[in-house]
């Protein structure tokens, strides 16, 4: 209670509320959920008006904004006002805004009620983050370790309910949220081989691998625990489980398995782990070269329950082999880009004895128990290299200084040169996988790891293959070697759908915000930013003219793309349904592509 009272001060609450309201207006305009009208043009800004509840009590919002590229808007928070009962007041309340727009946008009451809960959870988290930010400046983050830096991030830049975390209570939040940066020990169980399967890349065998992860003493102790339980140790695999998942899902959904000793609780391991932004991925802080561990947590956050789909868990090592073999056999990726691909090298999946037999079972019940081990990013680093999450480039401290600006200053490069380095590190390997191999990652800020050297972009690392690798549905000869086991699991997409992973995942979900930060802080014009990105793509294309047909097929420079929407999906399309498949981004209208129309005459 002392912690809660310290954080939930009215001044702090109003500040985070206004920030969220500003984000909601901006993103709802982008996704065309709301349609404010322009009522006045100023030199640098436009005054917008949003009239709501016509025919009932008239509510009107006014605010100033700046139209940006990519059909986006920068909204100025101190200009947001609301007229209610004929009286204008400063507006800062995001929950009241949702109530005000509910009928106008067509959001049903059930969705609205659940969404308000997610917004409150997000605001509570934002209040904790703000309190921490008030005591630190961005320079203090520059030398933070990769695992520690992840805990400074503030959630998805686009999704407005980005820390909803339905399933966590307040104590869970304080214990397990990544921004709390609390180290945890993983709880281990033994799972019977009748329901559990172990999968790995060819050079790893189960016993050697797990003994190395646990340590000789703990491994031996767990063997003895099984003998005391009067079961045969060789009939079991050792599996880590997050303690929240054990208490909130495994006991409730697998009680018969525990009674029958199909699942045998063993106790905690010795190593400490830090949760990363996804909440369910953990970095080993006791031994940084040990694997990162990805575990299911049955909480609803952003669009989905954060479980581990069984069919993808099973094939994770096969996907790793496929992705890494492409790089290993391609001199451009291997020798020039020197791309880092931390592989998901081992996995265990445990099938629920009943839900797995239920046709159309809600997907959350098929993703409750399993683990994926990913190679540690630290194990790939050379002298002087520093990994950071790409998302960190969007961090801005309480004084308004961006993390990226502090990096640029310490690097002694100009803004233009630093961004050029960034593009030249990130784009070529991603383009090569797309154009030559018809394969894409999902290179959003969390999956993309930027490796710096002397504060300058130096190498690219991509992670999370099991959830986010997708392939072209075109019959490309390079895809003929795709393993049969992957064909029913990996999503195959048409040309635009495949390009969306770069266009939306990287350009819209990350660069759209980075360009605004640079414009705001440095007056570095958006036009220059997107022109530089376009030139990076054209430079790659001139390097590989033999792929000309692929450049036309996977056209990243075309005038517009289908607009994928994340807030609209929750608010208007999917809501809080509990289907047998994970929800995907909604499609609504088109977004103009600045890479097509940006003028080459911009003075760079």
Residue 364 burial (10 A CB sphere; 0-12, 13-18, 19+): buried
- What pLDDT sits at residue 599? 63
**Alpha-carbon distance 457 to 413, whole Å?**
11
601: Cβ contacts below 8 Å, ≥ 6 apart: none
Do residues 399 and 139 lie in contact, with contact meaning Cβ atoms separated by under 8 Å?
Answer: no
- What pLDDT sits at residue 561? 98
**Alpha-carbon distance 149 to 179, whole Å?**
9
Nearest to 458 by CA among 542, 376, 381: 381
The yes-or-no verdict on residue 601 having pLDDT over 50 is no
**Alpha-carbon distance 228 to 474, whole Å?**
56
- Kindly report, residue by residue over 261-275, the tens digit of the pLDDT: 999 999 999 999 999
Which residues make beta-bridge pairs with 51?
60
**Alpha-carbon distance 297 to 302, whole Å?**
13
Q: Where are the domains of the chain?
A: 2-129, 170-378, 385-597
- Kindly report, residue by residue over 204-248, the tens digit of the pLDDT: 999 999 999 999 999 999 999 999 999 999 999 999 999 999 999
Confidence of residue 368 (pLDDT cuts 50, 70, 90): very high
**What does the block give as tokens for 583?**
């929800």
Q: How many CB atoms lie within 10 A of CB 237?
A: 18
Which residues make beta-bridge pairs with 72?
68
Do residues 537 and 551 lie in contact, with contact meaning Cβ atoms separated by under 8 Å?
Answer: no
Nearest to 239 by CA among 301, 159, 296: 296
Q: How many CB atoms lie within 10 A of CB 454?
A: 12
The yes-or-no verdict on residue 372 having pLDDT over 90 is yes
Nearest to 451 by CA among 404, 379, 375, 386: 386
User: For the residues of 234-303, what is the DSSP string, one character each?
Assistant: GGEEEEEE-HHHIIIIIHHH-HHHHHTTSEEEEEE-S--EEE-TTSSEEEESSSTTSPEEE--EEEEETT
**What does the block give as tokens for 61?**
């919002």
User: Stretch 279-297: mean pLDDT, rounded?
Assistant: 97
Looking at beta carbons, which pairs linking 572-581 to residues 24 or more positions away fall under 8 Å? Answer: 572/33, 572/105, 572/106, 572/107, 572/111, 574/303, 575/108, 575/110, 575/111, 575/114, 576/110, 576/111, 576/114, 576/300, 578/362, 578/364, 579/362, 579/363, 580/360, 580/361, 580/362, 580/363, 581/363
Query: Over the range 328-344, which residues count as b (16 or more CB within 10 Å of their CB) and which as e?
Result: eebebbeeebebbbbbb
Query: Over the range 136-152, which residues count as b (16 or more CB within 10 Å of their CB) and which as e?
Result: eebeebbeebbbebbbb
- What pLDDT sits at residue 541? 98
- Fold agreement (2-129, 385-597): no
The yes-or-no verdict on residue 346 having pLDDT over 70 is yes
User: Stretch 299-304: mean pLDDT, rounded?
Assistant: 94
- Kindly report, residue by residue over 422-473, the tens digit of the pLDDT: 999 999 999 999 999 999 999 998 899 999 999 999 999 999 998 889 999 9
**Alpha-carbon distance 431 to 506, whole Å?**
12
Q: Does the structural domain 2-129 have CATH classification 3.30.310.280?
A: yes
**Alpha-carbon distance 466 to 243, whole Å?**
23
- What pLDDT sits at residue 556? 98
Architecture of domain 385-597: Orthogonal Bundle (1.10)
SS3 31: coil
Mean pLDDT, the chain, rounded, equals 95
Q: Name the one residue in this structure whose structure tokens are 């070529």.
A: 428
Which residues make beta-bridge pairs with 184?
273
Chain centroid, CA 401 distance in Å: 23
Confidence of residue 54 (pLDDT cuts 50, 70, 90): low
- Residue ranges of the alpha helices (H) in 403-510? 403-411, 415-437, 465-468, 495-502
**Alpha-carbon distance 299 to 278, whole Å?**
11
pTM: 0.95
User: For the residues of 170-233, what is the DSSP string, one character each?
Assistant: HHHHHHH-GGG---B--EEEEEETTTEEEEE-TT--HHHHHHHHH-HHHHHHHHHHHHHTTS-G
């Amino acid at each position: 209670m002392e912690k809660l009272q310290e954080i939930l001060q009215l001044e702090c609450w109003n500040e985070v509320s206004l920030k969220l309201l500003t984000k909601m207006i901006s993103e709802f305009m982008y996704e065309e959920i709301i349609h404010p009208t322009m009522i006045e043009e100023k030199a640098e800004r436009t005054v917008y008006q949003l009239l709501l509840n016509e025919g009932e009590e008239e509510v009107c919002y006014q605010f100033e904004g700046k139209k940006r590229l990519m059909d986006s808007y920068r909204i100025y928070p101190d200009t947001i006002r609301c007229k209610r009962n004929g009286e204008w007041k400063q507006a800062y309340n995001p929950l009241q805004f949702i109530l005000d727009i509910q009928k106008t946008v067509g959001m049903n009451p059930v969705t609205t009620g659940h969404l308000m809960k997610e917004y409150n959870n997000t605001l509570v988290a934002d209040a904790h983050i703000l309190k921490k930010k008030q005591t630190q400046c961005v320079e203090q983050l520059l030398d933070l370790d990769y695992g520690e830096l992840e805990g400074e991030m503030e959630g998805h830049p686009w999704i407005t309910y980005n820390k909803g975390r339905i399933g966590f209570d307040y104590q869970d939040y304080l214990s397990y949220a990544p921004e709390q940066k609390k180290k945890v020990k993983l709880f281990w169980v033994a799972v019977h081989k009748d329901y559990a399967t172990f999968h790995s890349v060819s050079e790893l065998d189960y016993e050697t691998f797990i003994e190395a992860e646990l340590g000789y003493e703990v491994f031996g102790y767990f063997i003895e625990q099984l003998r005391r339980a009067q079961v045969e140790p060789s009939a079991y695999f050792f599996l880590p489980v997050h303690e929240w998942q054990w208490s909130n899902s495994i006991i409730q959904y697998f009680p018969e398995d525990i009674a029958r000793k199909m699942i045998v609780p063993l106790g905690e391991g010795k190593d400490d782990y830090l949760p990363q932004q996804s909440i369910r991925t953990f970095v080993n802080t006791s031994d940084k070269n040990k694997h990162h561990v990805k575990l299911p947590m049955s909480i609803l956050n952003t669009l989905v329950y954060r479980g581990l789909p069984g069919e993808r868990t099973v094939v994770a090592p096969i996907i790793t082999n496929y992705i890494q073999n492409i790089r290993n056999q391609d001199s451009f990726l291997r020798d020039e880009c020197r791309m880092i691909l931390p592989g998901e090298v081992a996995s265990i999946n445990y099938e629920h004895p009943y839900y797995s037999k239920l046709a159309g079972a809600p997907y959350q019940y098929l993703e409750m128990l399993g683990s994926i081990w990913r190679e540690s990013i630290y194990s790939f680093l050379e002298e002087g290299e520093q990994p950071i999450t790409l998302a960190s480039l969007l961090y801005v401290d309480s004084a308004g200084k961006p993390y990226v600006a502090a990096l640029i200053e310490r690097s002694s490069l100009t803004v233009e040169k630093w961004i050029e380095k960034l593009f030249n590190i990130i784009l070529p390997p991603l383009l090569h996988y797309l154009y030559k191999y018809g394969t894409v990652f999902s290179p959003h800020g969390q999956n993309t790891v930027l490796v710096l050297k002397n504060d300058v972009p130096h190498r690219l690392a991509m992670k999370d293959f099991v959830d986010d690798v997708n392939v072209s549905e075109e019959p490309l000869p390079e895809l003929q070697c795709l393993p049969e086991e992957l064909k029913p699991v990996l999503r195959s997409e048409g040309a635009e759908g495949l390009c969306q992973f770069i266009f939306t995942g990287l350009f819209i979900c990350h660069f759209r915000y980075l360009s605004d930060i640079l414009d705001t802080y440095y007056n570095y014009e958006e036009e220059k930013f997107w022109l530089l990105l376009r030139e990076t793509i054209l430079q790659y294309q001139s390097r590989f003219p033999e792929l000309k047909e692929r450049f036309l097929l996977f056209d990243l420079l075309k005038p517009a793309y289908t607009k994928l929407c994340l807030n609209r999906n929750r608010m208007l399309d999917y809501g809080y349904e509990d289907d047998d498949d994970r929800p995907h981004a909604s499609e609504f209208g088109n977004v103009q592509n600045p890479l097509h129309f940006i003028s080459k005459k911009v003075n760079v």
